[in-house]
Amino acid sequence: METAAQTAVQPAVEAAVQHDDLVVRRAGDRDAPAVAEVWLRSHAAALPGVRRAHTDRQVREWIRDVVVPAHETWVATVGDTIVGMMVLDGREVEQLHLAPSWRGRGIGDRLVALAKRRSPDGLGLWTFQVNGPARRFYERHGFRAVEYTDGSRNEEREPDVRYVWTPGDEDGETDVAEVRTRTLTADDWRLWRRLRLAALSEAPHAFGSRLADWQGPGDQEERWRTRLSIPGACHVVAELDGEPVGMAAGVPGQGDGEAELISLWVAPGGRGRGVGDRLVRAVERWAARTGAEVLRLTVFSGNEHAMGLYRRHGFVDEGPVGDAAPDGPREHVMAKALTDG
């Protein structure tokens, strides 16, 4: 069984994190059976199709003899019940599991926040590619996928993906690629206009709007301000080394609990630098803050770069929408659930 390199055991309690009846504290030897039970139940619920490399008994012995006594192990408890566990090894999140019935209650959020406090310079972790809910959860917390493997290096032989988080992987802060995002207001209409016209000119195949519709009589300050004043919407610009190189918007969806990602574009000079990832994450965080449960978008078939970006962030193709155009590609709807974790 893969285990983290042993670390020195730290003081038993970082000031306990409490919220209502939830307490996050260091695990003790007596917690090992309950920690193992959370691990086993979580794995069974989240990864039913992934081959287990070890028996339940071996897992329990590993947690009792190796994980709890020799690693920085944290538990989330409600009353006397352990409902979550996390194992840290320096800057690595080795394990993070929740009891299935306790998912979606913010416990995972609390554990990740603790991990960031314990390792403020950055974090890394591995998860299986097939584990969509976990991937969406980590991406929502600013982790970026940086490596995909065929699984030959893990015991389960299951394709996996490496995620990293670095300080600044949130709105308005700088990350390793020197990308910043900021939210616009109607007073920023000139910047939005500049990027939108560039997008419609450089990638006309990617949008339903036409450049001609926003030029000439259609190019009016009042119209641009109105575009940036859609009730409940969010308009984001990405800057690379101080230069605007990308844009995206989030708008309320057509149904309750829905939001839409629209108008995403990255200038050629910003491609391959993580700009698209930052824009997607910024809109996703906005959607989550509004209480949306699903984030949807439309993308034209054949736009493989865009579809690859969205798939990387957990969006799933729901199929074509509308009638096929006689002389062009068909739009597809892609969606991502925002309620896991």
Query: Which tens digit of pLDDT belongs to each residue from 90-148?
Result: 999 999 999 998 888 789 989 999 999 999 989 999 999 999 999 999 998 999 999 99
d(CA 239, CA 232): 23
Question: pTM surpassing 0.95?
Answer: no
Q: Select the highest-mean-pLDDT range: 26-40, 174-188, 310-324.
A: 26-40
Instruction: Give the pLDDT confidence of 206-221 residue by residue, as tens digits.
Output: 888 899 999 999 999 9
**H or E element, residue 190:** helix 189-202
Residues with Cβ within 8 Å of 285's Cβ and at least 6 positions away in sequence, in order, are 140, 170, 171
- Are the beta carbons of 163 and 314 closer than 8 angstroms? no
17-165 has CATH 2.40.160.60 classification: no
Instruction: Give the pLDDT confidence of 11-32 residue by residue, as tens digits.
Output: 333 333 344 468 899 999 999 9
Average pLDDT over the chain, rounded to an integer: 86
Give first-to-last CA distance, the chain, whole Å: 25
Instruction: Quote the DSSP letter at residue 141.
Output: T
Domain with CATH 3.40.630.30 in the chain: 17-165, 179-337
Instruction: Give the pLDDT confidence of 30-52 residue by residue, as tens digits.
Output: 999 999 999 999 999 988 999 88
Share of the chain above pLDDT 70, in %: 88
pLDDT band at 308 (very low <50, low <70, confident <90, very high): confident
Residue whose C-alpha is closest to residue 20's, from 108, 79, 104: 79
Q: What is the pairing mode between strands 92-98 and 81-89?
A: antiparallel
Looking at residue 270, its pLDDT comes to 82
179-337 has CATH 3.40.630.30 classification: yes
d(CA 168, CA 175): 5
Residue whose C-alpha is closest to residue 10's, from 71, 67, 64: 71
DSSP 3-state percent helix, strand, coil across the chain (nearest 5): 35, 30, 35
pLDDT band at 178 (very low <50, low <70, confident <90, very high): low
